[in-house]
Structure 1
């Protein structure tokens, strides 16, 4: 067999395997077998054994400090782990460790095992020359010899271990010019096991009498295993063959080929094909491109696209006769009778509610309890569909009936989550003796009906959504039922008190959840949030100041000790004498990075925004006030002023109203050169 140097690709794969233990993402595994033991013999010590030395493996002649040597090296491998696997490729690898001048004919032999007495004069028996190659020179070159067929033969012969020997051929074995030293010896074996565990999953009946039915859309799905697929590989491609045929005509068998993109899962989407009604069988097998599995066991399914006939609906408790019967919330017996023998379940809805599905014995009537929900003059409308084994729906059966209005009335005063609330239950039904109620599916409580047919009880709602169910009973009979679902308000309750003419407001916050310890509030969605500590009962009272005329919004967030937060807001109006001051601007002395104008240089200043004012007054640098008159209305007014100081100058302006009241002051600063 020819000597060969590993290709870059194979070398990279082997390097990754040796260094990390990873397996490449394809349908094979790589086994790297290192010698379980090794030895060499030496002509210089013809009766001595050299077992498991920590040195390179010597092959051929060499000169040492103690004289002349000639050696052969032996490597024992355990190949038992390869039994039962397909051998795709097997190589014996070595790394050359010597420097040399000549090409050396190196032989690879199968020999008997090395023993404790193995020596130059008592070597293992040579059984078969596996290869002879001309080994060139070059340190750390990796060399490989093909032994694919031999590995398979040894395993077939029942061998668990083999010993391989390296020697130099013929007379060159005794010529030091041809001596070599090798290291890092190992077998690399690419193996494969065919996919196994091929098993149909869906649709998969055991036979044509016990199988699922479909109405057209079909996804064949099976599972399998492949020992060559390891989690490190990620997804790999497997070739999957599906076969499907009508049970009554196997000659119409068709096969379809797909690639499995998911480890261990094979699928065939049948929505692209048109299957006639009937009974079908299907199987599949998997190929990893080196070998293939056996066919899976047969799976059976039926195709049925025919809708079942409309069922009939009847009830002795609530007949469809135009008369009132029973009462709202009081269950009655209803019977759905199929008109088709393959009916397997029913779907029904009452009053536009969601469709509910109930399995039935094949082709047999179904009896169940249904409670009416609509009170006169509304009719209860029951819609029923028969559904066959394939999932085909019949047309709708519509059944209408009337029920007496017997539901008790409910009203609530809700305190909040985990806070005391009250519930009032009322009924005018003759003979009503007791209310029975549950909250959120909890234990049922019973209280007598009050003298006027009304009873109020204290309740506590622990969640922000509550479901209350109430029954009213006579001494022995259920008379009526009601059920309500509602939101329990957990947001803080905010009220604001304000005296006209004041710029302050008093805010009172009441908790809508137990355990409130603090609040944060913000005014008009701007600025900082301010903290407020709650009172022992969870309430808080605080004052906000400096409020201008107009509408304001206060936002309040409540907190429990555990950090639960709830947020609410409240809009309120302030009516007082404090109005916003005028807007001051100047085209000549406007805000600027550099000083403008100069001392004694006049500039124009504008006042805007207070359209209902009578006039404006202005103070320069905190000095005497002067009047700025309005030309038509006071939406805008102007005046001229010559600054008297360099640097920062200040104007203060007010709007003055017909009643003599003033707005808040507006302060305008500018810098003069």
Structure 2
């Protein structure tokens, strides 16, 4: 046996004594500032916070826990007279501390119910004690009537009153309804504004200044303490336009222009105007009829660029209204033409047009004129500063015209850019049914041709069809219509010219188009496009070639199987068809040459008339 004595025994005792286990520390959370978040209130029971019955509230509390992330707050809510109806909802904190909020709706509780709520923080292990309760009262009834709105300056009587820029006072009145504590108003151009009533049910007055004329509406509702809204009142009134209208006929830089000021406010006796920051100049207003007064003032602008004019109207010495307008003054010359620019119909290629150049600067000596890609040319100005340019556009289309002016001192103006419309005197040629599918054209089948030119002063058109003689047709106001009958398939040609009232003639336009080589079909018994015959009555149908050297035809009746028939020496072939029913019928035919070249197909449509069939007649 081993015996340990003295210091060694003491050390052994220490080593053999078991160390206690480490205990984890979990600090409890804390809770404070329990309230209704939006109202920022924790009210007493004798003065509970009023909340809307149809809306929602946010229950809020400050929660903190140093060692638990996202602690929670439990919110308990119950009617004060029914604690047995207690309900609990939970809100969480983002982080270790901060507000815990929970949206809650009181819609299950009747109007007038007083509710208590309190909060408790929890970290999942430790809970705080419940806070002292806060109180709220459910208000589920909004004010019954919208507020009465009135204005002395802008009555809602359908007539125009006061004027743009003139303030008016507007009274919102809940007529003593003790439930109303505030008003909300807006207009189409004004955001919503809340105005508290000085005492419950008391009226409020606002000042509103219309910024435009015409019909304006204010929309007003009343609020109770729970922010329940009354029905909305729409107050509509009409505002006179009393601002002076400003018009400036800008002649150019350094040239006399005319400033015109006018208003429909016939009580105006004078106008004041100023250019930029210059001093205001007063001028008398003159009546123009019974509904307007105006003033016209000579005004010379000395530099190009933006010019701001401010005008005021006065009744005696009292200013009535004000308007501001900015104009752009340019020294680019004015370019006009009777035909090249709207509202003219357009110039005509190959025919001379004239353009008038008018200065927008003082002391203009020369103009520089450029049309399209043509070289620029200088045109001297006359004594009055204007010039006339004679120009013959070579081709039709839209041509860019650029003009500048040069003064005697060599100052070059801004450029004027305009687009000249140049019309083609040659007629356009349109061919009806050319290229249609299945083909509607062909040898011996009339084709409608239209001739048209937008150029003015047309008397007639002339044309050649293939190698035929030149024929003339009168202009009918919209062009001319002619009919030609092709005598061969393939390429056919129309050549046409326009003849003008002044005796001139346009160049010739040529159009080559293709005529189908589909065979033509005739029938004396069932003519194309008509109603004839009857069920059981046979009809003969003759195929006429458009191709040379036709040897055979394939055909189908009513989209049945293809049948083949040989052509006679003259290229024609005849078949017999006996319809077995009435109504619309289709015969489709293709010709074939000796080398089996197939033509376009031809569709021949006819209608079998309603009537007793041959079999029925025999039975009778």
Instruction: Report the TM-score, using the length of structure 1 for normalisation.
Output: 0.40
Higher relative contact order (CA 8 A, sep 6+): 1
State the TM-score, normalizing by the size of structure 2. 0.43
